[in-house]
Amino acid sequence: MGAMPRTGTALMREREARRNEDLVLAEHALIGERRVTIVRLAMIAVFTLNYEVVTRLLGEPRPVDPYRMAAGFAYLVFGLAMFLSLRRTRPDPAKAFWGPIVATVVDYGVLVFMAERERVTTGNIHPEMGAISFALVLCFSVCRVSLYHVVSSTVVGCAGYLAVGLAHHAFSAVTTPFVIGGLAALGLLIALTNRSLRQMFTGLRRRDNLTRFLPRQIVERVLDVGEGALRPVQAEVTVLFSDIRGFTAFSESLEPREVLEFLDDYLGHMAQIVKGHDGLVNKFLGDGLLAFWGLPDPTADHASPALRAALDMRRKLAELNAVRAARGQAQVRFGVGIHSGRVAAGMLGGADQHEYTIIGDVVNLASRIEGLTKGHGVDILVSESTWALANGRFDGRRVAEEQVKGRERPVVVYALDGTAAR
């Protein structure tokens, strides 16, 4: 069969995911640019201190240059404006792209202008200072996530240094190519490092976002093969449905906060057991839990781990009840229904709220079987199809043939005995 066309919901999810990723990167870029504003102000302070104070203490005062002073003052105002404005700015993908490019042009422009005024007023040329200054501005790109920012900063920096050298007749066949090559190498290293960090950053954020609504196994499959892992499929699975008996009466004696604390602890233990047996917790239904085995990686033996999980859930409930008994609290009982069959699996919901789930008669029957546990005085009942797949590896007994609502034929159920698989 060919690939199924993407639905409108899938397209909305993809667009929403890209929008979220752009916003995350814009937030990261904003944080980086705020750091750049601090370094820029520090650079202005150091350069000013050196030009106005240190040179005078060393007996090398510079002549007063109103153009240089005006440019320095304007650059200081620019630095302060950037520092203050970015403290109130919210992440914006468009601003995150163009803002650093404009700032880079201003930074390099000021350096070139200052070098030119130094030559005009003193006749001196300091290529070593120019190289360090240009490298420092290029290092601002460490805080910027986009490859365009690094490339543009490298190109402008190399061109600016070359232009200053040619204009001042200070071009050297040895030192100038060496400095430009060094700036280019620095830019390349920053670009490669930023690219790796961006991929790692977006990968971690994507994994974190996916795990909010997808089971771990599905997340790994999406990261490996892409969104195609979420296409609707049909597969043979084993479904487990568990529910606390008499939960309504049980919860009436507790405060709402105590009910939530109990469910958080209880469902947390049960979910970990399911995951420990490579199952997927599909959803929590109040005090109930729906899990399944056989997806996303189809396997012939999806019944055995489900039964092992049920046995471990039984053991864990006994441990929890022992603690509750020591505290003088009421005992908790549950019912578990397990059934195997064919289901449809995939994503349901819109772009804002969605989940990976399974649908089909198998799910309904697992719930019906769980409802039979109380009437037969057992805590775990297994359908005939699951029992056959287990192939005699578990202790149990045939309990009855039950007529279940919504089905014409009676359902044969088995009680799962013991605490461990054979």
Domain edges within the chain:
8-210, 228-416
**If residue 340 lies in a helix (H) or strand (E), which one and from where to where?**
strand 334-349
**If residue 295 lies in a helix (H) or strand (E), which one and from where to where?**
none
Class of CATH domain 228-416:
alpha beta
Report pLDDT for 352: 55
Residue 77 is encoded by which pair of tokens? 């105002």
Q: What angle do CA 117, 59, 76 make, to 5 degrees?
A: 40
| Type of residue numbered 318 | A
* CA nearest neighbour of 361 among 347, 346, 342: 342
Report pLDDT for 269: 93
Report pLDDT for 307: 95
Give me the torsion for CA of 320, 323, 328, 333, rounded to 10°.
10
Report pLDDT for 217: 65
Long-range contacts of 404-410 (CB under 8 A, 24+ apart): 404/365, 404/368, 404/369, 404/372, 405/368, 406/364, 406/368, 407/365
Q: What angle do CA 268, 210, 363 make, to 5 degrees?
A: 60
Q: Are 306 and 386 within 8 A, CB to CB?
A: yes
Residue 378 is encoded by which pair of tokens? 């057992």
Report pLDDT for 341: 92
* CA nearest neighbour of 213 among 16, 8, 5: 16
CB neighbourhood size of 392 (10 A): 9
| pLDDT tens over the chain, length 422 residues | 334 444 445 445 556 666 767 777 788 788 888 989 998 898 888 877 766 665 666 666 667 778 888 888 899 999 999 999 888 888 887 788 888 888 999 998 888 888 888 778 877 777 777 788 888 888 888 887 788 888 888 888 888 888 877 776 666 766 778 888 888 888 888 888 888 877 777 777 666 666 655 566 666 666 666 665 566 778 899 999 999 998 888 888 888 888 899 999 999 999 999 988 888 888 888 889 999 998 877 788 899 999 999 999 999 999 999 999 998 888 899 999 999 999 988 776 655 556 777 888 999 999 999 999 998 999 999 999 999 998 888 989 999 888 777 777 888 999 998 765 55
Q: What angle do CA 143, 147, 152 make, to 5 degrees?
A: 90
Q: What angle do CA 116, 111, 172 make, to 5 degrees?
A: 65
Q: What is the DSSP letter of 232?
A: -
Report pLDDT for 388: 92
